[in-house]
Structure 1
Amino acid sequence: MNLSMLLKIAIALAVAFFAIEKLRVHRADQRLQSLGPAAVTQQQQFADSPVQAATSEAPFEFRGYQVKPLAAFAVRARVLAREDYHAGKEAELSSLDLALGWKRMAEPAVYEPLGITQGNRWYRYSWRDQPPIPLQEIIESSANMHMIAATPTVERALKKARKGGYIRITGKLVEVSHPSGWRWTSSLTRSDSGAHSCELVFVESAQVED
């Protein structure tokens, strides 16, 4: 076999290889998309602000409540405060709230001068004289999040969260309802404050960073 023939065979094999590889990658992408926005979100690298994506996942039953997914959700953030709860329908689902900060609200020089407290499922902050950063930036870079642990393993991970540490969370923002008519609905924006501004997160994975 002469050199020209060997070169043609090599080129043909290279073309075939790249065609097969392109098809493999395309099919992998199609499979990921078919799993829905939550799977796509979980494949993304954790950003310095929450990642939210539309979802078409069907409602499901959890501990006698109906859970309706509103959006896929992921965040890596600083724990600004944590509060545990033991009473009420909310506590049957969510045993703790985490006040989380990202972007500049994750910087100790910004959040440590603030007086940060939690109670009655609220997150509050105060300051002397002037806030360390503009108020709207505080609002858009932090939030109180009600955590619904999907599994006992996730519950244990969430309970390891401590003020000043980082935590990574993936799951869904949800609306929860009860046959009695009681309803609890997540905020879907980071720019709100006051009543109904907290995120209600069905947490499917949680990792506290050392």
Structure 2
Amino acid sequence: MAVQISPSILSADFARLAEEAAAVSNADWLHVDVMDNHFVPNLTIGLPVVEALRKAADTPLDCHLMIEDPDRWAPAYAEAGAGSVTIHVEAAKAPVRTLRQIRSAGARAGLALNPATAVEPYADLLGEIDMLLLMTVEPGFGGQRFLDVVLPKVRRARELITAHGGQVWLQVDGGVAAETIERCAEAGADVFVAGSAVYGADDPARAVDALRALAEGAAG
């Protein structure tokens, strides 16, 4: 299981995004939280910023759409050059069609589940996705405390992915830090979103390396 670290720019300095992206050039992805103040109670950035960041950053963009009507907007993020675009099952009305459109536009397609959303009903969609994202906090704000209650769902998701037999990545997002990443890796996650744990550190690049080492050690 290859560990991947995706620092969340939600915790970065928005006035210096190009520099903040360069500060974690050793990361696998840059996680971009797109929020519309409707699906979640926060407003962050949208397509124009993603387009600009794509030109300024060498690291591929991992766009997480926490928005209403992702069926309408998700393909545009893929067309803008995002390497991965994730939509929420709670918001999508036509997830299969949207996931296929994301892939057709050249991006990896991700499906996200909130903490209270069971994973089993979506097992049949594993063939339509490249990544399953399990929220380990309630979506909307960075810096929240990790929800241990989600760990059994991470284990179950890993079991379902293994049974499916495809190459689906399992991402966790929310409260991922040195104190929690090992538990996530032990449960079966292999892609880790970390915001304040990276950008709140004195040396973000060193924080990325430290988190990767912890996850790799726990994954065995």
TM-score by length of 1: 0.25
Return the structure number with greater strand share.
Answer: 1
- Structure with larger Rg: 1
* TM-score for both structures, normalised by structure 2: 0.24
